[in-house]
């Protein structure tokens, strides 16, 4: 789960990461009021769950309250397009208004889980403010790493090693160490999957401040962070994906016209792939899970049909233990109840598959039964064309 920059900064500040003074604003008036309280030059930043906001015109400097008001007017309500939003962009509904700081140097600090070692790893770099993947590709020697075990936590000497690698003046080392330790503690205690400060800045007074902050959380651990769940901004998510999540369906909207309903994540991805291979374009990823029962199939139809691009549906279920006659009856009931008009291709394997096929054939509904995945993909792509 992702959160906004201002929310990430609130969490990191609680752990002792220094952040600029500032607050969130959802109206122009609020933005002006915050600028007035802060005094002097402020920065007005669009709050969306995507990077590259500055280049897209979502970050503006403003001298004083009037200028801040003007900047807020421009950014609030705009559809911000960045390299991470896709062409449709994101509607800006919140702003962060913050003090500006005398920046001497921009650094990078981030923590991710390294799959290879099975440990969280802190990455620090003197090449801050840039895309860290770009730094890793072009100048990997400028990225310094320390792995740590969550039980014992990041050690002071590890944080010092990182701090000294950043080329900071001695007067700033202690603050940098504290910040690195604080970020590591937050990563573990808040069950983050990513905690990133880019840039982390050295200020003229040898202060260390998180100028930007990005946190995403491990969805599997949200059950123990009720306060984090409340930070979820549904406005940042696709409405159909939000709806699907209410039914416990794993749905991701894509831009094609062949919808698919599959049991299992790997098979669902493979089904998308074979639709593409057959010359079509998948409209979604949808894993209905192991218990593909009548209600869940109905819910899945409901979500798939709400996408106006969908021209045909492919149901690909490798039942195994799931009985195909029960599955077929569920599909027929759900399709009838929802009055599904688009053609449906069904490929299923498992116990009682012949009886299941007969149920589909006898239903009088617009079903095409396929044998195997290739046949299914070719049939559904032809029907969607």
Partner 1 sequence: MSILVNKDTRLLVQGFTGREATFHSEQMIAYGGQVVGGVVPGKGGSSHLGRPVFNTVADAVKATGANASVVFVPPAFAAEAVMEAADAGLALVVCITEGIPAVDMVKAWQFLQTKPATRLIGPNCPGIITPGECKIGIMPGHIHKPGPVGVVSRSGTLTYEAVGQLSALGIGQTTCIGIGGDPIIGTNHTDSIRLFNEDPKTEAIVMIGEIGGNAEEMAAAYVKEHVRKPVIGFIAGQTAPPGRRMGHAGAIISGGSGKASDKIKAMEEAGIIVCPTPADMGERVKAALKL
Q: How buried is residue 91: exposed, middle or buried, by Cβ count under 10 Å (0-12/13-18/19+)?
A: middle
Known catalytic membership, residue 196: yes
Q: What distances in angstroms separate CA 140 from CA 30, 127, 201, one per listed residue?
A: 43, 10, 20
First to last CA, the chain: 36
Q: What distances in angstroms separate CA 109 from CA 1, 50, 144, 164, 188, one per listed residue?
A: 20, 18, 10, 13, 15
- Least distance (Å) between residue 34 CB and partner 1: 31
Instruction: Select 20 or 56, whichever has its Cβ closest to partner 1.
Output: 56
Instruction: Select 339 or 354, whichever has its Cβ closest to partner 1.
Output: 354
Q: How buried is residue 39: exposed, middle or buried, by Cβ count under 10 Å (0-12/13-18/19+)?
A: exposed
Q: Which range of residues in 38-46, 100-108, 282-290, 359-367 is near partner 1 by CB under 8 A?
A: 282-290
305 scored as a contact of partner 1 (CB under 8 A):
no
Known catalytic membership, residue 30: no
Binding mask 312-341 vs partner 1 (x if CB under 8 A, - otherwise)?
------xxxx--------------------
Q: With contacts defined by CB under 8 A, how many residues of the chain interact with partner 1?
A: 56
Distance CA 43, CA 101 (A): 10
116 scored as a contact of partner 1 (CB under 8 A):
yes
Residues 380 and 280: beta-carbon distance below 8 Å: yes
Q: Which of 100, 165, 206, 250 is close enough to bind partner 1 by CB under 8 A?
A: 250
Q: Which range of residues in 7-15, 143-151, 302-310, 324-332 is near partner 1 by CB under 8 A?
A: 143-151
Please give the backbone phi and psi of residue 91, each rounded to the nearest 5 degrees, phi first. Answer: -75, 130
- Least distance (Å) between residue 105 CB and partner 1: 23
Distance CA 17, CA 69 (A): 29
Q: Footprint of partner 1 on this chain (CB under 8 A)?
A: 84, 113, 115-116, 118-120, 132-133, 136, 149-151, 188, 191, 193, 218-221, 223-224, 250, 252, 254, 262-277, 282, 285, 287, 290, 318-321, 349-351, 372-374, 377
- Write out the catalytic residue numbers: 108, 196
């Amino acid at each position: 789960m992702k959160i906004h920059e201002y929310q990430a900064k609130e969490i990191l500040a609680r752990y002792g990461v220094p952040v600029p003074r500032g607050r969130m604003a959802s109206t122009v008036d609020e933005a002006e009021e915050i600028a007035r309280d802060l005094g002097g030059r402020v920065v007005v930043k669009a709050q969306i769950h995507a990077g590259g906001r500055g280049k897209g015109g979502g970050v503006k400097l403003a001298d004083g309250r009037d200028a801040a008001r003007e900047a807020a007017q421009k950014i609030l309500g705009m559809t911000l397009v960045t390299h991470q939003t896709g062409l449709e962009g994101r509607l800006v509904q919140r702003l962060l208004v913050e003090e500006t700081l005398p920046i001497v140097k921009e650094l990078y600090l981030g923590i991710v889980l390294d799959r290879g070692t099975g440990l969280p790893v802190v990455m620090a770099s003197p090449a801050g403010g840039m895309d860290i993947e770009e730094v890793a590709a072009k100048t990997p020697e400028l990225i310094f790493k320390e792995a740590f075990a969550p039980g014992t936590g990041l050690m002071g000497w590890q944080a010092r090693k990182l701090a000294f690698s950043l080329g900071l003046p001695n007067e700033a080392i202690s603050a940098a160490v504290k910040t690195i330790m604080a970020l590591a503690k937050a990563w573990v205690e808040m069950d983050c999957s990513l905690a990133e400060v880019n840039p982390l800045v050295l200020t003229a007074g040898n202060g260390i401040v998180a100028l930007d902050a990005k946190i995403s959380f491990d969805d599997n651990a949200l059950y123990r962070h009720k306060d984090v769940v409340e930070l979820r901004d549904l406005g940042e998510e696709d409405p159909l994906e939000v709806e699907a999540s209410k039914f416990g369906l794993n749905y991701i909207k894509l831009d094609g016209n062949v919808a698919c309903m599959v049991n299992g994540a790997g098979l669902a991805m493979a089904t998308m792939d074979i639709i593409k291979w057959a010359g079509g374009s998948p409209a979604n990823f949808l894993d209905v899970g192991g218990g593909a029962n009548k209600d869940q199939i109905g819910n899945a139809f409901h979500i798939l049909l709400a996408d106006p691009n969908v021209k045909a549906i492919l149901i690909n279920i490798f039942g195994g233990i799931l009985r195909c006659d029960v599955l077929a009856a569920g599909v027929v009931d759900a399709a009838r109840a929802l009055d599904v008009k688009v053609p449906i291709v069904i490929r299923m394997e498992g116990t009682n598959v012949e009886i299941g096929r007969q149920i589909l054939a006898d239903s009088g509904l617009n079903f095409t039964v396929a044998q195997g995945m290739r046949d299914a993909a070719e049939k559904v792509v032809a029907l969607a064309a």
